[in-house]
Structure formats: structure tokens, C-alpha cells
Structure 1
Amino acid sequence: MELVIENLSKTYGNGVRALQNVSLRIPTGMFGLLGPNGAGKSSLMRTIATLQEADSGSIQLGDIDVLRDKDAVRRVLGYLPQEFGVYPKISAEELLDHFAVLKGLSDSKQRREIVHGLLQRTNLYEVRKKNLGGYSGGMKQRFGIAQALLGNPRLIIVDEPTAGLDPAERNRFHNLLAEIGENIIVILSTHIVSDVSDLCRNMAIINKGQVLLTGDPLLVMQELTGQLWRRTIDKEQLPALQQEQQVISTRLFAGRTIVHVVSDAQPGPDYEGITPTLEDVYFARIAQAERKVAVAES
């Protein structure tokens, strides 16, 4: 099973070009879609999920034409959007049973077995009678995955699933996603780089509606080998340094600023070479794209 997206474009009524000729091949397993807020990730996810129309392009899921046969897509799709509501005064068991009915599971015995199985799989069975209003953020996200798994989907989309979760809940959610992604396509849309590096064998970086990079996270990190340098400076030095070097990221440490710079050779004696991470690749590609735009507009 493969999801093939070709030359997909979408411009909203206000003139925002959310997607610009996006092409991706997404195989079975966990696929990370990485980009900053406003990059076009949610627009792409909503289009795949048949919640909005594309202006042009195509999407094929196996033998299903996603843009033309929306009913066929919905029968094999599980979707956990960035924001989803729950009825606070109803239990997880009751609401999941209701969703199962909407999915067409009419046999009450079979439906009960499926609901209980999904609650066990998402580690919510012991709190199945508890009202959803009393669930933590992580528990609500796991309930969201339970409803997305109804009907044995072939494709699951999760949009910014770990934002706001504490480390323990985030780890539980990662383990659950990794298990789910062994046999079906799972698209993880996020701006959190470590979610992709921890979970995904394939990924893409998207920004301003354009795909900047695709590949295996371990392999794409090699593209910066021997080109990444680090230096600690006073924050007052940063503006001048940004004029001189390709600074891709900065962070504070003990009151000083640590900068990461991309350069084919050591920029100076105060710089040390470092092993690149996926975060470095992410920042480098975003910075490169922004420089191209600045040059084009100047």
C-alpha cells in the first residue's frame, strides 16, 4: 500500500498559497511531515482526509482516487485532527460505542468486543467508565487514536498529536503510534522535530506550501556532515554574526548564546565542528528556502 501525491496545489480565497505543487510517495509505516506552524501541513492533511478540495493535482491511495472517490477513502481512513472535541459528560466507552455505530458496526456484541479491544490497546480500559471531561490531555489523545482505529483503517492521519503532552504521556503516545504504524500508513504531521526522529523511517520537510526535502531521517542528517559548526557568543554579537555567516539556529545557555552555523570550512578558530541532528537539517533547509525567497524579492 502506498499513498502517492502528485503536484497538489491549494490557494485559499484570501490569496494564501497553502500548497504549491506538493508531490510525495508515502509507503506503509510511520511517515513524518515536519514543518513550522503555517507551513501547509494541516492543509495537506485536510485534503488527504477529504475535508477540503484541491485546486489541482492528484492523490492515489492504492487503487483509490482520493480526490474523486471520497466515500471509498473515508471507509479506510482514521483521522485525529489537531483539535477535536469530546463530550465531557459521557464516558469513553459510551462515546466510542457511538462512533462505532456511525462507522456501521450494527452488531452489538461485535461492537462491544471491538470497543473494549481498542480501549485496551490504548491503555484506557481501566478508565472506560470515566467521563471524558476528567481525562488528561494525553488520555484524550489516546481516545482520539482509539476512534481513529475503528473500522481497521489502511491510512491514519494524526495532526500535531503530542503538542502539550507531558513527557510520560508523550512517551506512551509514541509507543502506541509505533505499534500502529507497523502494518498501515500513518502520517504524523508535527512541528516537533524529535517526534519525527524518534518514530519515522521516512519524512518530508514542508514550508510555505512547498516540500523542501524528503528521505530517511538518518540519511538526511548526513547531508550536513562536516559542514556544521558551533560557537558560543554574547547576544550583542549575534546581529553581526548573522551578516557574516549562515546561522541556522540559536539558543541560550547560561546567559550566553550558542549558534549553529553551516559552512564548508571552519569559519574561524572559535568554532568547533559538531555532529548534525535532524533539528539542524530542519533549520538549515528552512533558512535556505528563506534566503532564496529574499534573493528573489530583492
Structure 2
Amino acid sequence: MNLTISNVSKTYPNGVRALQGISLTVPAGLYGLLGPNGAGKSTLMRILATLQEPDEGSIQLAGLDVLGQKEKVRETLGYLPQEFGVYPKAKAEDLLDYFAVLKGITQRAARREVVEALLRQTNLWDVRRQQLGGFSGGMKQRFGVAVALLGNPKLLIVDEPTAGLDPAERVRFLNLLSELGENSVVILSTHIVEDVAELCTNMAIINQGQILLEAEPLRAIERIRGKVWRSVVEKSALPALAQVHAIISTRLLGGRTVVRVYGEAAPGAGFEAVPPDLEDVYFTTMAGHYHPTSAQEGGAATS
């Protein structure tokens, strides 16, 4: 089962070109859509969730025309937006039961079984009688996943799900997402590289409404092995270094700056080769230094 996005574009009335001819093939499993804020991720997610119309393009999901058969798509869609509200005085079990009715699960016994299963799956069973207003951010996100999973969706969309979560809740949430991609297409839209690195077997990098790279994370990382170099330098040396080398990223360490550089050979004395990671792939792609050559790496990267 694939989700096929073909030449989807969207320009807002104020002239902002949110999407520019987006084409992606998303297989079953966890798929990461990675990009900075304002890259067009949320616009694409809303279009996939049938909440917004593109100006042009087509989308197919397991034989369904997503743009032309919205009601059919909604029957098999789960959507966790970046921000969503809950009734603070409602109990988790009661509100999930209410949403189950809206989803069409009208038989009481069947609904009770589904609600219990989802609350257990999202690790909320023990707090099912608590009011949602007292839930932590991570607990609310997990409740949102429970709502999104009603009806066993074939397409599950989660938009920036870990933003604002503390480290412990983030781990719980990512563990939950990792269980969901066995029988569905799960799209994880995020600007957090670690989320994609830890979860996704396929990904795309998007910026300014365009796909820069479509790849398997591990293959993309392997493509730059031997081309990432690290050194500790004085901050004052960075401008001169940036004039002649492709700087990937900089970090402070003990008052000094750790710099990672992309290049075929060592940039100079004091640099050592280091194993690359997905963050290196992300920054080299955003800077236009990553040049995929195989079909699997979807040569949409910039030059």
C-alpha cells in the first residue's frame, strides 16, 4: 500500500508559494517529512488530511483519489495536528468514547472494546477517569493518537508531535509511534532530526515548498561517510573557515567551538574524520552540498 503524491502545488492569496510541484511515493511504515518551520510541511499535511485544497496535482491512497473522494478517505484517515484542543473537564475515557461514536462505532459493546484497547495501547488506561485538563503535554499527545487511531486508519498523519515534550514523554511517544507503522502509512512531519533518525525507514527533506531529498536515512548517511570532518576552533576563526569550506554545523564546547565540515578531503590540520549522522545529511542537503546519484535517493536535491 502506497500513498502517491504527484505535482502538488499550493499558493496562498498573499502570494506565499507553500508547495511547488511536490511529488512523493510514501510506502507503508513510518515516513519522515523533515524540514524547518515554514517549509510547507503543515500545508502538505492539511491537504493529505482533506482539510485544504491544492491548486493543482493529484494524490492516490490504495486506489482512492484523496482529492476527489474525501469522504471515503476520511473513513480510513487518522490525523494528529500540531495543535488540537480537548475539553479540559472531560474524562479521557468518556471523550474517546464520544469520538468513537462520531467515527461511526455506534454499537456500545464494540465501542467499549475499542476504547479500552486504544487507551491501553497509548498507556492511558490507568488515568482513563482523570480529566484531560490535568494531563501533561505528552499525555495529551498520546490521547490525540488514540483519537487518530479510531477506525484502524490506513493513513495516519502526525504533525510536529514531539515539539514541547520533555525528554521522558518524548521517548514514550516515539515508542508508541514505532508500533503503528506495521499495517499503515504513517507520516511524521517534524523539524526535529532525531525523531526521523530514530523512527523512520524512509524520509524526505522539504524546504521552501520543494523536496530537496527523498531517501532512506541509513543510505543517505552512508553516502557522506568519509566526507564529514570535525575540529575544535576559536569562534573568531569561523568566518575565514566558511569562506573556503562547507560548514555543516557548529556547537559550543567548554567555551570553544566544535565545527563539522563537509568535504572530500580533510579541510586542514586539526581536523579528523568522524562518522556522519542524519543531522549531517540534513544540513548538507539544506546547504545544497548533498548530491544523490541513485534512484533510491530520489535526485531532487539541489545543486
Q: Which residue of 2 aligns with 1:247?
A: 247
Alignment of 1:182-221 (within 5 A): 182-221=182-221
Structure 1 position 289, deviation (Å): 7.6
Aligned residue in 2 for 1:80: 80
Distance in 2, matches of 1:150 and 1:172, equals: 20
Q: Give the aligned residue type for 1:57.
A: G
TM-score for the superposition, normalised by structure 2: 0.94
In the TM superposition, residue 140 of structure 1 has moved relative to its aligned partner by 0.4
In the alignment, the residues of structure 2 paired with residue 281 and residue 117 of structure 1 have an alpha-carbon distance, to the nearest angstrom, of: 39
CA-CA distance at 1:264 after TM superposition: 1.3
SS at match of 2:287: helix
Cα 1:101–1:289 shift into 2, 3 Å: farther
Letter in 1 for 2:140: K
Look up the equivalent residue of 1:52 and give its one-letter code. Answer: Q
In the other structure, the counterpart of 1:132 is 132
May I ask how many residue pairs the two structures share in their alignment? 292
1:257 counterpart residue number? 257
Find the aligned partners of 1:221 and 1:198 in 2 and give their Cα distance.
Answer: 13
Alpha-carbon deviation of 1:165?
1.2
Aligned-pair CA distance for 1:208 = 0.8
1:103 aligns with 2:81: no
CA RMSD of aligned residues (A): 1.5
Structure 1 counterpart SS, 2:106 = coil
2:276, 2:182 → 1: CA distance? 28
Letter in structure 1 aligned against 2:223: E
Q: How far apart are the structure 1 equivalents of 2:63 and 2:283?
A: 36
TM-score (norm 1): 0.95
1:285 corresponds in structure 2 to 285
Q: Determine the structure 2 residue equivalent to 1:33.
A: 33
Q: What residue ranges of structure 2 are gaps of 5+ in the alignment?
A: 291-302
SS class of match (2:150): coil
Q: Between the two proteins, what is the percent identity of the paired residues?
A: 63
Deviations 1:81-129 (A, max 9, x none): 0001111011001111111111111111211111111111111011001
How far does residue 263 in structure 1 lie from its aligned partner after superposition?
1.2
Structure 2 counterpart of 1:274? 274
**In structure 1, distance between residues paired with 2:263 and 2:168:** 38
After superposition, the Cα gap between the structure-2 partners of 1:216 and 1:37, relative to the gap in structure 1 and judged at 3 Å, is same
Give the 3-state SS of the residue equivalent to 1:158 in structure 2: strand
Q: Confirm whether residue 171 of structure 1 aligns to residue 171 of structure 2.
A: yes
Write the distance in 2 (CA, Å) between the matches of 1:51 and 1:273.
Answer: 47
Instruction: Extract unaligned runs of 5+ from structure 1.
Output: 291-295
CA deviation digits over 1:204-239, x for unaligned, max 9? 111111111111111000121121111211111112
The equivalent of 1:293 in structure 2 is none
SS in 2 for 1:26: strand
Instruction: Find the counterpart in structure 1 of residue 222 from structure 2.
Output: 222
Match of 2:157 in 1: 157
Q: CA deviation at 1:64?
A: 0.4
